[in-house]
Structure 1
């Protein structure tokens, strides 16, 4: 193989890798948000999660990308490790679609795809159409690179190479095949791309990629596909690292199943070769069988996979924010100590809720969703505190408490509920920002000014209400003032909604923008209600808790 042949091979490989990455990015942009919503909502059942993993990965064309997305959900607390495992197993099957497309060999239409995709990206005005053009262009470049790699000026020359023919004829060393496959995938950072290279070689001639050696390369490639996940897991939270381990365990178990099968049951490779004379199709079939059989074998053992990953990746002490900072569950039964600790933990929860609300409102005014991850992490902690403080207080109420402490803890149940709901509205606001940005919606300056005015009153009411509760003191005069602020918030919300209807009639704003704006106003109004609930709970002489 001459230097020119090597250069041509590398050029074709570069086009192939670029086309695959470009197409995958376009698919992610078109379907990514919808896929994320599906993943968030439909992963409670391991089998549904499995099917969803297959679907999502078949669409975005990357099991690594799907698993990295899952790791992000784990970090944000959107799903737990048990739910994620089913999706990861499904993702390993979904990634075989690339091999199927290559096996079909539609390289003849590659030039047309390149032309159509380029035209769409250059001349289409809508961003969604440009993304579709990116998908078509990537698809065309992928198959153009594949055709170039397998051409007579690149891999095709191997047909006449006596040294390569001698090597490939004698090559049947399992360890060598596994190591080459592992190294190839570790370098290319994609199992689909690595399998594609094998298929390109097989297209040149089935004798250049005999199944007796290709099977070990395929197994090694699949094991090496975990490398990008391990790199993504560096610095991640414990569960994200465990997800990477589970992904590796999938392919490692597959290696344990298929390596002995290939070594001691040669009829297996012979059977695959009888299914098709096309070497590329044979590689695709072997790859699909590896993934499907391993998935079917492991799916019933999801709980064991999770448990094993937890044994391998042990949690470090205090490696998570999801813990009490002030409550000591082993503390003595001193009622005063108990009430002080619970009060401090609720104050911590209130600070986080306040921060989330401020960040969400300021982000809405700027239409900036860059803080979404921060909001999600804080929301995870708020929900954790809500549930665990409630559970602890239920335990505490079974003890002998003074009437004052008992009444105080009773009111705390209502306070943390209101705080948690304020946190929910902050998260709602961030989601409204994302919806507006994804649909290129804008808001009028008057509308944003109205939003800001209500937000500032909400913040004042929240701060004064929390302060009153923590001090356990709310005078009649202060209560009247806070009630006046709440009434003002209600009035301004109605006024802003009326002004919005007027702007719609005058066609100064879009209907879709108005829907989001109205919902955002409702979030602010509800925050005012929950804030005033907190202040009401500060009145020691009040026997009933006002609830909105």
Structure 2
């Protein structure tokens, strides 16, 4: 094989890899949101998770991409590790669809797909049509690259290569096959692509890929398919690392099953060759059998697999609260799972804000500032989350993301701003308690009762607003009720201020304490405004978001 043949081979491989990635990205853009909804509704039933894993991966054409998506869902708290394990097992079967498509060999229509896909991707006005064009174009480029790889200028020359013929006819060392397969997949970063290379070689001539050796290559490729996930999990959170380990355990168990079978029963490889005369089909069959048998062996032992991953990957000991619990910057390639992680982190911020608001208001009612240190520590974390979530969302929005995800993240910018301001008002109220205690200010029972009434309406509005945000749904009827609560807060605040002025006139209240009381009422009124804003983030119509 000369330099020109190597260049031709690499060119065909590059087209093949690009087509696969481009097609997968397009599929993910078109179907990714629906796949997310399916995964979000996933129950703890391992078999439903398994079937969903098959479906999702068959659609987006990448078990690694599915597993990375699951890592994001794990970080966002959408599912637990046992649920994810069932999906991972199913994903390993779904990824065999690529091998089936290659075995069918529709390369004859590749040029037509390239033309149609290019026209749609370049000239379609609707984003969905552009993504469909991307899928068609990627499909065409994939098969064009495959045809070029197996052509006379690339792998075709191996037919006349005495050295390669000698190697392949004498190749019977199982460990060499496992090693070559593992290295091939680790380099190409895709089991589908690696299997595709074997199929391209088999298309050139069945004698160039004898099944007795291909069996070990396929096993090695499957074990090597965990490498992209290990790279994605470097520096990632604990459960993301465990998901990568579970993926590896699946393929390692498959190796433990099929390596002895291939060694002890050479008739297994011979049996596969009797199923088809086409070498590419033989490779696809062996790959499918590996995945399916391993999956059905693993399904009953999901709990033990999860426990093993937890033994291998110990939980981290964190030194500081100032960190993300759900967002994992190492696996932020999938926009849908990333949006879910951000949403979970914002919900965490919301819980902290609500807790601080309750601490401050309850403290004001009894003039107790004993929890001021807890409030200050929470406020530090709230401010950290505000800045760092914002920075992360800016990074995410700089990438190409779909309209729904982009709109959702845009709303989150408003939500975290309102949450941070509510946290500031809670801090203000606690400071007023501290000042009142230091100066021995007293408040009338009527004033405290007025404060309590507004606080309770505020808390109801905040809780219902956060509920609407969490559920991503706000009906017109609910919106009218929340608007009524906000109006009630405004009315009660004005009434309390007027009553306070009257008490000042009657000298029933001290001027200095009255200033603190008035400012505390203003804090409560502003909390109501920001709570109402948060509720609008649940509206579908993004133009209805109101910023104060």
Is 2:447 the counterpart of 1:477? Answer: yes
For residues 123-522 of structure 1, the aligned pairs below 5 Å read: 123-318=123-318, 373-377=341-345, 379=347, 437-438=403-404, 476-477=446-447, 479-480=449-450, 483=453, 521=479
The 2-side partners of 1:201 and 1:263 are apart by 23
Give 1:479 shift. 4.5
Q: Specify whether residues 116 and 437 from structure 1 end up closer, same or farther in structure 2 by C-alpha distance, changes over 3 A only.
A: closer
Match of 2:511 in 1: none
CA deviations over 1:497-529 (Å, ceiling 9, x no partner):
xxxxxxxxxxxxxxxxxx979599579659969
Residue segments in structure 1 that go unaligned for 5+ positions in a row: 324-351, 353-368, 387-403, 409-426, 492-514, 536-548
Q: Specify whether residues 314 and 370 from structure 1 end up closer, same or farther in structure 2 by C-alpha distance, changes over 3 A only.
A: closer
The answer on whether the counterparts of 1:121 and 1:134 sit within 8 Å (CA) in structure 2 is: yes
The answer on whether the counterparts of 1:98 and 1:192 sit within 8 Å (CA) in structure 2 is: yes
Q: Specify whether residues 219 and 437 from structure 1 end up closer, same or farther in structure 2 by C-alpha distance, changes over 3 A only.
A: same
The 1-side partners of 2:415 and 2:307 are apart by 48
Q: Specify whether residues 32 and 152 from structure 1 end up closer, same or farther in structure 2 by C-alpha distance, changes over 3 A only.
A: same
SS in 1 for 2:176: helix
SS in 2 for 1:153: coil
The 1-side partners of 2:285 and 2:341 are apart by 40
The 2-side partners of 1:163 and 1:239 are apart by 47
The answer on whether the counterparts of 2:353 and 2:419 sit within 8 Å (CA) in structure 1 is: no
The 1-side partners of 2:153 and 2:270 are apart by 31
CA deviations over 1:64-110 (Å, ceiling 9, x no partner):
01111111111122211111111111111110000000000000110
SS in 1 for 2:152: coil
The answer on whether the counterparts of 1:465 and 1:531 sit within 8 Å (CA) in structure 2 is: no
Give 1:204 shift. 0.5
The 1-side partners of 2:249 and 2:38 are apart by 25
Give 1:373 shift. 3.2
Give 1:477 shift. 2.1
Q: Specify whether residues 26 and 516 from structure 1 end up closer, same or farther in structure 2 by C-alpha distance, changes over 3 A only.
A: farther
Q: How high is the TM-score relative to the length of structure 2?
A: 0.67
Match of 1:100 in 2: 100
The 2-side partners of 1:531 and 1:464 are apart by 18
Match of 1:357 in 2: none
Give 1:198 shift. 0.3
Q: Specify whether residues 134 and 474 from structure 1 end up closer, same or farther in structure 2 by C-alpha distance, changes over 3 A only.
A: farther
Pick which of 168-177 and 468-477 moved more: 468-477
Give 1:319 shift. 7.4
Q: Specify whether residues 451 and 180 from structure 1 end up closer, same or farther in structure 2 by C-alpha distance, changes over 3 A only.
A: closer
Aligned length: 424
The answer on whether the counterparts of 1:457 and 1:485 sit within 8 Å (CA) in structure 2 is: no
Give 1:37 shift. 1.8
The answer on whether the counterparts of 1:53 and 1:90 sit within 8 Å (CA) in structure 2 is: yes
The 2-side partners of 1:526 and 1:62 are apart by 50
The 1-side partners of 2:296 and 2:415 are apart by 53
Segments of 4+ in structure 1 off by > 4 A? 319-323, 369-372, 380-386, 439-442, 450-475, 481-491, 515-532
Q: How high is the TM-score relative to the length of structure 1?
A: 0.67
Give 1:162 shift. 1.5
SS in 2 for 1:125: coil
The answer on whether the counterparts of 1:186 and 1:227 sit within 8 Å (CA) in structure 2 is: yes
The answer on whether the counterparts of 2:250 and 2:294 sit within 8 Å (CA) in structure 1 is: yes
Is 2:25 the counterpart of 1:18? Answer: no
SS in 2 for 1:198: helix
Match of 2:64 in 1: 64
The answer on whether the counterparts of 1:490 and 1:525 sit within 8 Å (CA) in structure 2 is: no
The 2-side partners of 1:436 and 1:173 are apart by 49
Give 1:466 shift. 7.8
The 2-side partners of 1:243 and 1:529 are apart by 49
SS in 2 for 1:72: helix
Q: Specify whether residues 85 and 484 from structure 1 end up closer, same or farther in structure 2 by C-alpha distance, changes over 3 A only.
A: closer
The answer on whether the counterparts of 1:75 and 1:236 sit within 8 Å (CA) in structure 2 is: no
SS in 1 for 2:315: coil
Q: Specify whether residues 322 and 250 from structure 1 end up closer, same or farther in structure 2 by C-alpha distance, changes over 3 A only.
A: farther
Q: Specify whether residues 168 and 460 from structure 1 end up closer, same or farther in structure 2 by C-alpha distance, changes over 3 A only.
A: closer
The 1-side partners of 2:489 and 2:282 are apart by 65
Give 1:288 shift. 0.4
Q: Specify whether residues 211 and 238 from structure 1 end up closer, same or farther in structure 2 by C-alpha distance, changes over 3 A only.
A: same
The answer on whether the counterparts of 2:454 and 2:489 sit within 8 Å (CA) in structure 1 is: no
Give 1:385 shift. 13
Q: Specify whether residues 380 and 74 from structure 1 end up closer, same or farther in structure 2 by C-alpha distance, changes over 3 A only.
A: farther
The 1-side partners of 2:162 and 2:293 are apart by 37
The 2-side partners of 1:385 and 1:461 are apart by 10
The answer on whether the counterparts of 1:253 and 1:294 sit within 8 Å (CA) in structure 2 is: yes
The answer on whether the counterparts of 1:117 and 1:133 sit within 8 Å (CA) in structure 2 is: yes
The answer on whether the counterparts of 2:353 and 2:423 sit within 8 Å (CA) in structure 1 is: no
Q: Over the residues paired in the alignment, what is the CA RMSD in angstroms?
A: 4.6
The answer on whether the counterparts of 2:353 and 2:422 sit within 8 Å (CA) in structure 1 is: no
The 2-side partners of 1:135 and 1:149 are apart by 21
